[in-house]
Amino acid sequence: MTFDAAFDWARRHVRDGRLPTAVVGMATAEGIIDLEGFGAATDAVYPLFSITKMLTGITAARAIERGLLTPNTPLSAALPDFGAARDDIVRLWHLASHTSGISEPPLDTALPLRDELLTRGRDFAAGTASRYSTIAFEGIAALIEHATGVTWDEGTLDWASTVGAIGLTLDTTQSVGVPDAAAGGLDLDRFHATRAPGAGLLGRAEDLLHVGAELLRIGGGQRGGILSPAGLAMMRRPLTGDIPRLDPYPDERGQDWGFTFNLRSRAPGLVDRDLFGHGGWAGTEFWVHPEAGICWVLLTNAAVRPGVDADELDNAVVAAL
């Protein structure tokens, strides 16, 4: 396997100024097979933004596997004050599939996320539509801590270390940053201060590749890892069906949501639609192709990315196999 076209994609975007830096890597179930940096070292630490969601989701799924939660557990089990004015019940699977209907605050809100979660109100009844939500993951964090006695970040960093993802962190001191964050409408310092369980982690490409290799092993039927094969299958099960998909991810993007996994099962721009993973606000990407047996990571740091289409990179990775 040679990934020249994939690396040329990243090199071209950095050379032409569409991306300030990029690190691209690939892994199979055997481990990392290729990794290159463009304008940054391969071990550079990037804000992962919403890739955090699937990592927190794995932590919640591990609690489900231990019998401490189910996807149907109501958020009120952890936060009795939540939803007092709602006539519906928000459950863990709603939070994990962007169907909770909780009104979304700004990513860089100055208020504590728990306060936002309890006071934001409702956009729609749980389960009736899908609108991308980061505040919902504060609810998942509350359920994780209530069920396990461990915070979402402690639980996530614990299992991640067992597969070699030892660079995941909430510490921003080594971060490459996002030079155009303000142009993208984000106060980066205030955002990092929220320590958001749906967007706050930082890490290296190799950390995510270690996680991806582990997910490929589990998908191949190996037991004893961070999840059981049944737990991974649960996370990959589509939960959004044919309900309306509201901005910023409308129907034409061709995706469903599993249990915190983005499932690009109907994406018109992809050669191989058998994939799951997540992207992040500044262009970060993490995708696993189980049938093809490959996962890939793009870490970059551009809030505004005209002319950059990560589907092109995905196709170049898959076509190299």
State residue 222's pLDDT score.
81
Q: What is the Cα–Cα distance from 204 to 168, expressed in whole angstroms?
A: 7
State residue 73's pLDDT score.
98
pLDDT at 251: 59
CATH number for the region 4-319 comes to: 3.40.710.10
The span from the CA of 95 to the CA of 16, in Å, is 39
- Per-domain residue ranges of the chain: 4-319
- Give the global pTM: 0.97
Q: What is the pLDDT of residue 246?
A: 83
pLDDT (0 to 100) of residue 14: 98
The HSE-up count of residue 289 (CA atoms within 13 Å, CB side) is 22
Q: What is the per-residue pLDDT for 156?
A: 98
Question: What are the two backbone dihedrals, phi and then psi, of residue 36, each rounded to the nearest 5 degrees?
Answer: -140, 150
- Cis peptide leading into residue 306 (ω within 30°): no
87-135: pLDDT as tens digits = 999 999 999 999 999 999 999 999 999 999 999 999 999 999 999 999 9
Q: What is the pLDDT of residue 255?
A: 80
Residue 174: partners with Cβ closer than 8 Å, 6 or more residues away: 45, 202
pLDDT in tens, the chain (321 residues): 799 999 999 999 999 999 999 999 999 999 999 999 999 999 999 999 999 999 999 999 999 999 999 999 999 999 999 998 899 999 999 999 999 999 999 999 999 999 999 999 999 999 999 999 999 999 999 999 999 999 999 999 999 999 999 999 999 999 999 999 999 999 999 999 999 999 999 999 999 999 999 999 999 988 768 999 999 999 999 999 889 888 766 555 668 999 999 999 889 999 999 999 999 999 999 999 999 999 999 999 999 999 999 999 999 999 999
Q: Two tokens at 170?
A: 């909430």
pLDDT of residue 225: 87
